[in-house]
Chain A
Amino acid sequence: MNQDLPRWADMVLIPALNLAMALLMSGLVVIIIGENPIEAMKYLVYGSLGYGEGIGYTLYYATNFIFTGLAVAVAFHAGLFNIGGEGQAYVAGIGVAIACLWLDNTHWLIVFPLAIFGGAAFGALWAAIPGYLQAKRGSHIVITTIMFNFIASALLVYLLVNVMKVPGSMATETRSFEAGAHLPFMSDIFAWFGLKIEKSPLNLSFFLAIAASVAVWILIWKTKLGYAMRTLGFSSTAALYAGISPARIIIIAMSISGALAGLMAVNEIMGVQHRLLLGYTAGYGFVGIAVALMGRNHPVGIFFAAILFGMLYQGGAELAFEMPAITRDMIVVIQGMVILFTGAMDHMFRPTVARLLSFTRSQQEGA
């Protein structure tokens, strides 16, 4: 039996089948609850794409998912499963907040590069430690990054309760940044050109996300480092024979992955919340896993998968409002289905599709 699939089938057909399966199962859940899945889908699509503010929110969520999706993908290419994007983005918030709190009486153009650096550096550090432990001490990266998620969350609680909180205030958050550390919203950017769009949390970080996608594409497919990472991901023995140091590449790949996850904090902290607060990552780091799986670890795929998940998050809010029986947790279910079918059960359709394709091919050759 020929298991090799043509590239188009591997990149488009299989993911489409898996996604359809995930949506079908999610639809089934909606039916069990006693609602109409077609109706639900309509609210979802309208809520996310039907009007300006909805589109803004969709792209704002997508910004987070592009960062966390790229983070997972970069590690994947080096054969590493970075499940700690959540913790890395969380810790990165500290770096972004320091830059913002320090210089928020200046101008955002000054703060922006520092915030990017702060977020990336803190995220990279939080990922580099598990990377180091895997490379040099042989600990399993999955377990270590899970543990680091919990340690990050304890660290943030400690910092926000004891160190960074406004004295005398009950709220576990830093002070709000001055206007000098607010990234311009997309509506402001359009206003510079005399265009008017509806207000939404969508901000300049969206362009940062696109730049990061391009950078990741160049890194993975056009640089020596990317080649080394892919070699390592393909076979660590091959990498070793090729003179690539697995330990070095593991640590570098994890640092880049963590830095990308950390950039999510720029969107959330500097772009939207304008203060460091508890729990702002809200599971976006984990969504990155689903996004990377669906996007086949390619920046273009990740971009579209991120938009799809952005639609899910924004449309899901609308759906919960229109159909009270379906709560926002439906998003979590759909996410789970996508991870299950595009990730874990990827092999379900593969043999059948391969057989069908080779059958039609041999038919054509015979004719």
Chain B
Amino acid sequence: METIELAIQVLDSGLRLTALLLFACLAGLFSERSGIFDIGLEGKLLGAAFAAGAGAAVTGSAWLGLLCGIGVSVVLSLMHGLASITFRGNQIISGVAINFLAAGMAILFGQAWFGRGGNTPSVTGAAKFNDISLPLVDTLNNVPVIGMLYRELISGHTILVYIAFAFVPLTWFILFRTRFGLRLRAVGECPEAVDTAGISVIWLRYRAVIICGILCGFGGAYLSISQNSFFVRDMSAGKGFVALAALIFARWMPFNALVSCLLFGILEASAIAFQGITIPGIGEIPVQFIQALPYILTVILLAGFVGKAVPPKAGGVPYVKER
């Protein structure tokens, strides 16, 4: 019984981590599918987390906090767009710059406005996304297994967790069932063709990075006013890069992204839960190894030892219209 409870606990906290990774991973998916590499996911998460924490603390509304988070994240995205689409700069360098700017400014403004060493004030009640209990929890409670799974795993998350998972089919639909999605994918593979068809490459790519910003905004708000109740220094803790790894692992496909984010989320949750547990025949697995596993797996996958990850063809290359 105890092991089952432990397993459910791990899965439950794994789901919470997955939600965060999903936001960032799908954000990156939109951007990279349009041919704009984005290693600034981390910075956008952090900037949005700060803005959401600050916004929620000042307005007392979690939804306004979310809006602030999205706003800041979109501004950072537009900066990335300006540098990499309009000025045709190096997308990697721009991403690095955004990570620095977000990390520095969050603490700087946090200290100037709230004077708590960069943290935002703790929020409660309506200023925070609270766990919601899904209907039928009590009815299903008596059903064995399903009742417990439903109560412990499916129910009792904040609304943002459900939104994160809902974004997966939505992303798939937008990318593979709409005209916009088709063009977006085309612009990441062969922008010349899109241009020849009389569609603006620039505007398409800007829309992609804006969507990326919106999704990162959700992710940041999830960090500071859903998972936690305030913003602290470096709270994104490299999750933006894990999301990037998950994106590569998913080979830039939405439903694969769900799988890879679940994998990495549960890996991390189990790393915390299984600290110091010995596995028969192998011995004790260091917790640091499990924490590094997403990165190691990504390296192995990228190297083509297991399957092959091929990024969008026009990724990282600024588009120069022929004259």
Contacts and interface: CB of A to CB of B under 8 A. Distances in A.
Contact of A144 (B111, B289, B291, B302): B302
A280 interface: no
Contacts of B245: 143, 147
A348 B85 CA distance: 12
B97 A344 contact: yes
A223 interface: no
Nearest to B109: A33
Interface stretch (A248-256, A269-277, A322-330): A322-330
A216 to B, nearest CB: 21
Given A150-B295, A336-B100, A143 B248 contact: yes
Contacts of A327: 107-108, 111, 118
A151 B100 contact: no
Contacts of A359: none
B89 A329 contact: no
B101 A340 contact: yes
Interface in A316-363: 325-327, 329-337, 339-340, 343-348
A83 B96 contact: yes
A337 B37 CA distance: 20
B83 A137 contact: no
A31 B105 CA distance: 13
B203 interface: no
Interface stretch (A118-126, A154-162, A194-202): A154-162
Interface string A301-329: 00000000000000000000000011101
A210 interface: no
B298 interface: yes
Main secondary structure of the interface of A (DSSP, over half): helix
A278 to B, nearest CB: 12
A325 B112 CA distance: 5
Interface string B80-107: 0011100111111110111111111101
A138 B304 contact: yes
A146 interface: yes
Main secondary structure of the interface of B (DSSP, over half): helix
Contact of A146 (B98, B100, B241, B296): B241
Given A81-B92, A345-B82, A29 B108 contact: yes
A168 interface: no
Interface in B301-320: 302-305, 311
B238 interface: yes
Interface string A19-41: 00000000001001110000000
A297 B225 CA distance: 43
B296 A151 contact: yes
A332 B104 contact: yes
Nearest to B101: A336
A147 B295 contact: yes
A326 B112 CA distance: 7
Interface residues of A, number: 48
A106 B286 CA distance: 35
Q: Among B83, B84, B245, which residue has the most Cβ atoms of chain A within 10 A? A: B83
A344 B299 contact: no
Contacts of A101: none
B79 interface: yes
Interface size classification for chain B: 35 or more
B288 interface: yes
Contact of B304 (A139, A154, A340, A344): A139
Contacts of A284: none
A289 interface: yes
B88 A347 contact: yes
B292 interface: yes
A150 B245 CA distance: 11
B39 to A, nearest CB: 7
A91 interface: no
Interface in A219-273: none
Q: Among A133, A148, A151, which residue has the most Cβ atoms of chain B within 10 A? A: A151
Contacts of B311: 140
B96 A286 contact: yes
Contacts of A332: 100-101, 103-104, 107
Given A133-B299, A133-B302, A340-B97, A329 B118 contact: yes
B217 to A, nearest CB: 19
B302 A325 contact: no
Nearest to B290: A154
Contacts of B100: 286, 332-333, 335-336, 339
B244 interface: yes
A32 B109 CA distance: 9
Nearest to A161: B288
Interface in B44-84: 79, 82-84
Contact of B302 (A143, A151, A286): A143
Interface of B: 37, 39, 79, 82-84, 87-94, 96-105, 107-109, 111-112, 118, 238, 241, 244-245, 248, 286, 288-289, 291-292, 295-296, 298-299, 302-305, 311
9 contacts: A137-B302, A146-B39, A289-B93, A327-B118, A329-B111, A340-B83, A343-B90, A345-B94, A346-B89
Interface of A: 29, 32-34, 81, 83, 133, 137-140, 142-144, 146-148, 150-151, 154-155, 157-158, 161-162, 286, 289, 293, 325-327, 329-337, 339-340, 343-348
Q: For the complex of A and B, list the 4 residue pairs with the smallest distance between their C-beta atoms, beginning with the closest.
A: A332-B104, A336-B100, A344-B94, A336-B101
